[in-house]
Amino acid sequence: MDVLSEVLRVVRLQGALFYNGEFSAPWSVYAASSDGVARHFGTPTERVIVYHLLTEGRASVRLENGIRLNLEAGDIVMIPHGDRHVLENGPPTRTVDDSEHLVEVLSQGLKLWRVGGGGEVTKVVCGYMACEPRLSHVFLNGLPPVFKVSIRNDASGGWLENSIRFSVDQADVSRAGGEAVLAKLSEALFVETLRLYIAHLPPEQIGWLAGARDVEVGKTLALMHRDPSRPWTLATLAKETGLSRSVLVERFRYYLNETPMAYLTRWRLQIGAQTLASTSYSVAQVAAEVGYESEAAFNRAFKREFTLPPARFRSQSRSAHTTSPKNAQTAKDHSSGSNREALTRPMSSGGQTKTP
């Protein structure tokens, strides 16, 4: 069983390829932040993952905390937590802020956006993926601020890259269902990137992603995510995975620092919180949906996790959703001004390279 697929089945992925760049050295582009992308695409959440696929040439990506990665054709770089970042190639140059051009770029579909000094060419296809934040945190929280994988040398990754290049090249041609195809390719690229990242984790890695790769822990996670409302016990989980209860607990604690039953309780409550915020189901219905035998037991567990009873949590979630974020966004943009200046300032050639 594939635990990643089971989790992704319920996090409601929504994505798109949103611009196609051809940059000639020297060039430097301040990439749109996740909240900026969310505003332009009207995503239901600000938890937006931005990524860039290099189809030709080379580049580097750097974050305001000093992390820098070198990229080459076939690499996809993912910024899972929406950190502000710069893509560039060549000697220090003035950074173009693509947020100032994003409306123009988006209005032309996936026609090439050209920037640079006329030297070595780098081609980049950029996309985003929006995930339901409450449910996607299980795997996103285990990811570094930025990481890259090479998809070109992987069979399925190579097919994806070729499909994306073809679809982007054909974007100017009016084709029925073209946007839907690009959205599905964006989703497939995101999943493929996670798959390759998990596959190349070092053996000593711990955390959810490493646990998902482990045979026994991954199977346990998949069982719980596939059917969270089933009346699981430690004994039934151990039997399904072929381990003793003590060994299962030990392995689960090693990777996730909690017991299987504690993890299951938290996951059920996260699903319950999302259901309360997004549906009109009664609290009793939600309790039954996530495996609680009584509304009272669900209420107690929910309040321990979220400090609010379910009904009040639903009311506050809906109130927050309907409140305009304009003032909060203005304050956020103002407070990030110094960070933007730091990012758009060219790095000295002697800067230290770091990797996550």
Per-residue confidence band for 46, with pLDDT thresholds at 50, 70 and 90: low
Per-residue confidence band for 134, with pLDDT thresholds at 50, 70 and 90: confident
Return the beta strands (E) in 131-276 as ranges: 147-150
| Residues 163-185: tens digit of each pLDDT | 888 888 776 555 666 778 888 88
Looking at the fold, whether 125 and 14 belong to one and the same domain comes out as yes
Per-residue confidence band for 338, with pLDDT thresholds at 50, 70 and 90: very low
β partners of residue 76: 53, 149
**Domain-embedded: residue 24:** yes
Per-residue confidence band for 45, with pLDDT thresholds at 50, 70 and 90: low
Looking at the fold, whether 155 and 221 belong to one and the same domain comes out as no
Per-residue confidence band for 253, with pLDDT thresholds at 50, 70 and 90: very high
Burial of 177 (0-12, 13-18, 19+ CB in 10 A): exposed
Instruction: Return the biggest CA–CA distance within the chain.
Output: 68
Looking at the fold, whether 235 and 282 belong to one and the same domain comes out as yes
| Domain CATH code at residue 27 | 2.60.120.280
Looking at the fold, whether 133 and 224 belong to one and the same domain comes out as no
Per-residue confidence band for 273, with pLDDT thresholds at 50, 70 and 90: very high
CA-wise closest residue to 78 among 139, 135, 121, 3 = 139
Domain boundary among 168, 199, 230: 199
Domain boundary among 132, 167, 199: 199
**Domain-embedded: residue 186:** yes
What are the tokens at 237? 């989980």
Looking at the fold, whether 34 and 164 belong to one and the same domain comes out as yes
| Domain CATH code at residue 228 | 1.10.10.60
**Domain-embedded: residue 162:** yes
Q: Are strands 68-72 and 96-97 parallel, antiparallel or unpaired?
A: unpaired
pLDDT at 172: 58
Q: Is 90 exceeded by the pLDDT of residue 250?
A: yes
Share of residues in the chain with pLDDT > 70 (%): 82
**Domain-embedded: residue 229:** yes
The length of the chain is 356
**Domain-embedded: residue 336:** no
Mean pLDDT of 213-223: 95
DSSP conformational letter for 99:
G
Residue 310: C-alpha distances to residues 7, 137, 212, 232, 296 (Å): 23, 20, 30, 23, 11
Looking at the fold, whether 189 and 217 belong to one and the same domain comes out as no
pLDDT at 352: 34
Q: Is 80 exceeded by the pLDDT of residue 150?
A: yes
> Per the omega criterion (within 30 degrees of 0), is the bond before 309 cis?
no
**Domain-embedded: residue 254:** yes
Whether the model clears a pTM of 0.95, i.e. scores above it, the answer is: no
What are the tokens at 273? 């919180």
d(CA 48, CA 35): 7
d(CA 183, CA 128): 10
Per-residue confidence band for 340, with pLDDT thresholds at 50, 70 and 90: very low
Domain count, the chain: 2
pLDDT at 323: 53
Domain boundary among 151, 168, 199: 199
pLDDT at 196: 92
Contact in structure between 20 and 110 (CB atoms under 8 Å): yes
Mean pLDDT of 239-263: 96
**Domain-embedded: residue 340:** no
| Residues 1-42: tens digit of each pLDDT | 589 888 988 887 888 887 888 999 999 988 866 776 777 666
Q: Is 90 exceeded by the pLDDT of residue 332?
A: no
pLDDT at 37: 72
Looking at the fold, whether 218 and 187 belong to one and the same domain comes out as no
What is the full DSSP assignment across 329-351? HHHHHHHTHHHHHHHHSPPPTTP
DSSP conformational letter for 100:
G
CA-wise closest residue to 270 among 141, 79, 184, 143 = 141
The helix/strand/coil state of 291 is coil
d(CA 107, CA 114): 15
**Domain-embedded: residue 333:** no
Looking at the fold, whether 63 and 181 belong to one and the same domain comes out as yes
Looking at the fold, whether 108 and 179 belong to one and the same domain comes out as yes
Looking at the fold, whether 227 and 297 belong to one and the same domain comes out as yes
Looking at the fold, whether 212 and 162 belong to one and the same domain comes out as no
Contact in structure between 43 and 353 (CB atoms under 8 Å): no
Classify the phi-psi angles of 116: left when phi > 0, otherwise alpha if psi is within -120 to 50, otherwise beta: left
β partners of residue 89: 27
Domain enclosing residue 295, as ranges: 208-320
Looking at the fold, whether 168 and 101 belong to one and the same domain comes out as yes
